[in-house]
Amino acid sequence: MDLNIENKVKGVKNNFLNHTYNKDDLSNFSSHNIKQVLKFQKTNKRYLKTPLTSLKALSQYLGVKNIFVKDESQRFELNAFKVMGGIYAIGKYIAKKLGKDIEEITFDELSSPKTIEKIGAMTFISATDGNHGRGIAWAARELGQRSVIYMPKGTSKARLEAIKREGSLAEITNVNYDETIRICKKLAKKNNWVMVQDTSWKGYDQIPLWVMQGYSSIAMEIVKDLENRYNETPSHVFLQAGVGSFAAGITSFLMQYYDTKDIKVIIVEPELANCYYQSFAYNRGEIKRVTGDMNSIMAGLCCGEPNPIAFEILKKYTHSFYSCPDSISALGMRILGNPLEKDKKIISGESGAVPLGLLYYLKKEGKNDDKLGINESSNILIINTEGDTDSNQYLDIVWKGKMNI
């Protein structure tokens, strides 16, 4: 079903949604497994649970029961959620090198001189639009190891310098994100470096799974707050997708935790890198790759090739896929940064704000309520995946009105 709205926002309903829920599909994301992931992440002394905020005034304005925003801009002081995948994947890799289960070891033990002496120096390499690479660089440095990070053409200097400040060798390539991944694959093989990517390919699926499990612990934090502070269950979850690993990690945990298909998961992408929307828009349900330059302001989502592991999960468990112009992201940034009444101000970057921008647009501009069933009893969950990772561009958008709808 085409959900096109005034040719600005394009949506497609997922006709491959699996209405028979199978827990075995998501066993890697069981509460038991993700509890162990979070347990390890908490052993880092800088761990703090990020806040889940209820925007009551905005909820009333949009005619829904609740809008909950999980603010990942405060994660490990790195301004984005991505480190949750990197810290777990690298920690798990080092633990395996030691012949130990990560459940039995702490972050301090993995970074100790004794451990480094035993396993030797390692170099972790990754391709990134910004946040993932900074998380990898930070985790590698904190664990006494090295990192090399490559970034696609068009990456801002601010994001490059942020990664360099974490101690990584980093540079910007002259090709897009997916081609940058291929560069990293060749260098990893040539130099015997460890590739840490949140997308998979033939023969490379273990580390991407660990990264996705690292992301899932965010969902575990969310459900505990929803239960203990608000006594609520989400009815709709809006999630950003680049390669889809974050969205699949969150979706997997929520589906197995609530053991229900009543939750509608809505995937949101930039129109210039809308590989999930393209994959489902023509009712084929097969991976469709987007190529060429992807000059969206949503740099963290500019990925043209879905992660095959994530794709299969989202194909089974998501309701719909939306392709959004940059103006929708800019709208979300301004709404979150200029709250109504007593709602909390949230600093959200371009990739972090697009779900809220889409929700507002659908409710106030798109007249799309009946397609998603969003009404006065709906509990909406949104995750702000990043803060102002490019502070100059943030000001251009929020202060100067760049990218008006």
Residue for token digits 């053409």?
Answer: 153
C-alpha distances in angstroms, 72 versus 3, 225, 263, 352, 401? 30, 14, 22, 9, 24
What whole-number distance in Å separates Cα of residue 350 and Cα of residue 362? 18
CA-nearest of 399, 20, 33 to 216 is 33
Residues 6+ apart with CB under 8 A from 182: none
One-letter amino acid for residue 364 of the chain: K
Q: Where are the beta strands (DSSP E) in 192-335?
A: 194-195, 236-240, 264-270, 320-324
Q: Choose, from 82, 315, 316, 363, the residue flagged as catalytic.
A: 82
Q: Choose, from 70, 71, 92, 129, the residue flagged as catalytic.
A: 129
**Are the beta carbons of 44 and 87 closer than 8 angstroms?**
yes
What whole-number distance in Å separates Cα of residue 110 and Cα of residue 98? 9
**Are the beta carbons of 337 and 348 closer than 8 angstroms?**
yes
Determine whether 205 is an active site residue: no
- State the Cα torsion 44-165-50-381 to the nearest 10°: -130
Q: Reduced to 3 states, what is the DSSP secondary structure of residue 171?
A: strand
Tokens representing 127? 């391709």
Determine whether 129 is an active site residue: yes
Residue for token digits 């101000």?
Answer: 345
Residues 6+ apart with CB under 8 A from 303: 129, 177, 178, 199, 242, 243, 273, 275, 294
Tokens representing 266? 């809505």
Q: Reduced to 3 states, what is the DSSP secondary structure of residue 265?
A: strand
List the catalytic residues.
Answer: 82, 129
